[in-house]
Amino acid sequence: MDPQIPKEGLWLNTLIQTLSKFALDATFFMDIRNYPKADQFMTDGGLEDKKFIYVIPRLQYTPYHQFNPNNNGWSDAKVQEVETVNALKKEED
């Protein structure tokens, strides 16, 4: 135990250390809005405000090789594995 931290403050120190290791996905950080396009999407789909949900499915493996330079540093075998598993599990997921 760190002698600088009083025993009663230990839980706070642990909490701060835990939170400092946590990072949200970039999805929660981005603030990108296009209201005209969103309105058109709702109109085209016959959607009413606050009466639907929009779900973005998650693949087994994020295909980083598709949008990072140099195939994300992955070998051809790794790229093939990711593509194969995602294709096989797409409907199930």
pLDDT-based confidence at residue 58 (cuts at 50, 70, 90): confident
Q: How far is CA 67 from CA 29, 43, 71, in A?
A: 19, 31, 8
- Is the per-residue pLDDT at 91 higher than 80? yes
- Is the per-residue pLDDT at 48 higher than 60? yes
Q: Where does residue 82 rank: exposed (0-12), middle (13-18), buried (19+ CB within 10 A)? A: buried
pLDDT value at residue 42: 93
pLDDT-based confidence at residue 90 (cuts at 50, 70, 90): confident
> How far is it, in rounded angstroms, from Cα 30 to Cα 43?
25
Residue pLDDT, tens place only, 11-26: 666 766 666 655 555 5
Supply the DSSP symbol for 93.
-
